[in-house]
Structure 1
Amino acid sequence: MNLPHDDKTCGWYAALPPPQPARRLSGSQRADYAVIGAGFAGLAAARRLAEHEPDARIVLVDAQRVGEGASGRNSGFVIDLPHKFALENPDAQFKQRLLRLNRTAIAQLQSLVDEHGIACQWSHAGKYQGAVGERGLAYLAHFEKLMAALGEPFHAVEGRELAKVLGTTHYSRAVFTSGCYLMQPAALVRGLARSLPENVELLENSAIQRVERDGLGGYVLHGADGQIHTPRLLLGTSIFTREFGYLHNRLLPVMTFASWTAPLNAAQCKRYSGTFDWGLTPADHAGTTVRMTQDRRIIIRNTYKHVPKYGRSVDDSTRESIRAEHRKAFLARFPDLADVPFTHTWGGVYAISRNFTNFFGQLEDGVFASACDNGVGAAWGTISGTLLADRAVGATSSLLDDIHAVTGMPSLNPPEPFLGIGVRTRIRLAAWNSRAEV
């Protein structure tokens, strides 16, 4: 079984104080519900189960510490709009359902941040979608047409107005949409974990290595030092869902990488001509994501790798090469900040499907899963985990109708070695075509 094997150089996680000692799985335990995966989906599922059944015992178990996995490694966007590929869907109702789901997730996270005082740089900052050259501008024009058809407000920003925000003249044009929130992802998920209801027990550094039926209609989750017996199992495991034998030939593991700088000092802040606390995604999806954080760090994210063995597929030399490419992208945008060093470079694994379809629902009797976020995990994980708990307890709602309408079965992948060759070729081709936008 391939377990999570993330690098230990995630800047978001390193910026936090050390966590309290972890509770680990040991001995034989029983739970009314077990949830595997303490990312956005698993945390939301466990919280919702506890709300539905306050007398039930709910065990949430993760192979790592909360915030060390994919949920704490993203770029810190919580996006309300349908993602790039979903936005292409010709069904207007499909896109409206996604908007409702994403905005419900944002409202839910906002409420939890406020209620529990979660310090995670939470900010209603909106989002810029930026273009550098002709290819990016063509994508941006197409995005504007899709937004107009969707009936969502946006406005174009260019020239001096754009440079005053971003502190760089690198971008020709951008489109601003106001519904996106920014945050510190590792801080957010750690705060969500600390504020779980009392009938949820969180077990960390406790990899589940095998799940089997118990012969009584339930399941036994086997870890290195203990087992969990439960009649109902919820999987918030994204790409790792396939390690438990589900959706095995339908999910593709992809890793994307980010680097960030040390916080800008006073002299560097004087040289920097932009604002603080903004985020930009590329109009061309293979381009570069850039963020300026509230604590004055600049993040550069680009480069995609097919990682069939997750973190074990990437070695130190690959990370160093990626870091060098990130440095080029940084200097192209901020040449006046050449003295600002990078302090961390990290990767994060997520699941995509060939037909860009998310899975949500029941896998077999007593087993439910939300898998394959296709790269938009914060909002999708939050709402899909919440609604998965509703599904598991038999609740009904219009939001459940929405999520069933926009999800389905990820398509089958071709066998290896054809799959790996095809994915790597497609990633290389996208990188070549988008090189001016990187």
Structure 2
Amino acid sequence: MKITKKVLRNVSLTAHPQGCAQYVSNQIEWVQAHAQVSDDSRYPASKNLVLPKRVLILGGSTGYGLSSRIVSAFAAQADTINVSFEREPSETRTATPGWYNTMAFEREARKAGHKAESIFGDAFSDETKQATAELIKSLLGQVDLVIYSLASPLRTDPKTGLTYRSVLKPIGKPFSALSVDLDCDVVKTATIEPAQGTQVEDTIKVMGGEDWSLWIDFLLQEKLLAEGAMVISYSYIGPKVTYPVYREGTIGKAKEDLEKTAAQLTKKLASIKGRAFVSVNKALVTRASAVIPVVPLYMAILYQVMKERDLHEHCTQQIYRLFTEKLFSGKAIPTDDEGRIRVDDWEMQDDIQSEVERRWDLQKEGEPLQGADLEGVYSEYEQIHGFGFDNIDYDEDVDPRII
């Protein structure tokens, strides 16, 4: 079948297997180009660093989770296990991009001599936790690093059986701000109605720290965390312009809960001399961020400003810097006053944010976007679904079941 882009309300409904393989390959090549010898001081060679060799990534098929798996395997030479919820392909329907990414990654990792396996299932369930434990025991013995990078619209509590749904809404009152769609550079006003009823609490149940804590409790109980093991979860803060819908909204409350959980987990991990951290990462195009109103406009301006200053990073560059400059540099791990690792440090520089704010003020509803890189944002969104690569013939018939 001919696999074409199908997008509904900023959500891509299809993925291209060959394109996803190219997307993964490009990231692997970037890591390999820097891991042994690097002439860029911002991304030092990793070959002389003591990096984790057995890594579990919860949500390792797309975005920062996938990049964590790529950096682990091709910078740290680690064996990896991924847990994610994916849709497999059929004869007439494509898989999720995460499924194609995983197939491509594991093929390349095994070629390089690394163990690489995945469990596709509901990471919130006890059954998936148990299956993961069995795989760790048989494949790795224990793990040195756990990356928690799950993003989901719903979660069923394994203890009560109740299902909770997350929402991305402001709290207390509606929020209106300028925005753009990925495929149209005309600025518009987006309004988001506030959370109602139990939506704040429900979002915390899905996206907060409860499941992260359950995973670490379980892994400790099963003695699957090696001495000195580190556990990391990813978060985002962003600029003040997005605070009402993000940091001060329902998702922000969930992230606050996640960040509080890190301190609790560090206490639990003391018995094995382990530590837990939240890493606050840069605004980047993911399947989730592209559908958040206001955020695509912010990212388009941010991308342009950071590219002009040669500071723009994609997911894999961010995670490579997290590993080599923050977590495993051999020096004390740098954190902010809240104990968080800040890999959004370049994004949040005063000169970057002041220029973003200046350009934001130039935007007018109903007029084309100014001083921004919406094309770059859209291109990244295309590529995370396997589209937009010049070397791939998208008119060619492709079996979506290809791996």
Give the TM-score, by structure 1 length: 0.27
* Structure ranking higher on relative contact order (CA contacts 8 Å, 6+ apart): 1
The TM-score, its normalising length taken from structure 2, stands at: 0.29
